[in-house]
Amino acid sequence: MGQIIERYALKRGHQIFLVVDEHNRPNLTADDIKGADVAIDFSVPSAALDNMNLCLEAGVPIVVGTTGWYDQLEDVKAKCLDADGSILYGSNFSIGVNVFFHINRMLAKALQPYKQYDVQVEEIHHIHKLDAPSGTAITIAEG
């Protein structure tokens, strides 16, 4: 996802300040990213947490599409508030999926009186999927 965002950002004339991967991430400091308008993270849970902390330290807003770290959400919120920072996160940024999330909540409300029904979420992904269940499936189940 990050590579797709990079491609479209460049196509639209935006400048990419820095691309972070496993090769350069261990050596980054807040000074390395100061001056960026925004950071966009579609990585892995452990890296996303480190990236959010680094961005908060540098005063760089961050958009996080990585899931699997939500058990740390309250700590992240507290750090964000303490730093007067900005973090936008979501389990899925697709417009279609977010419409589905909305419909899912409406359906759950409509079915609530009918206790004889039970619901479940089943998902199938490629073998390289990093988080299972996915953040999307968790959002659907919570809805």
Set 102, 125, 126, 128: catalytic member: 125
Annotation marks residue 109 as catalytic:
no
23 in active site: no
On whether the CB atoms of residues 54 and 64 are closer than 8 A, the answer is: no
Contacts of 60 (CB under 8 A, 6+ apart): 33, 34, 36, 37, 38, 39
Q: Residue 46 and residue 66: Cα distance in Å, rounded?
A: 10
Catalytic residue (one of 14, 77, 102, 129): 129
Active site (catalytic) residues: 125, 129
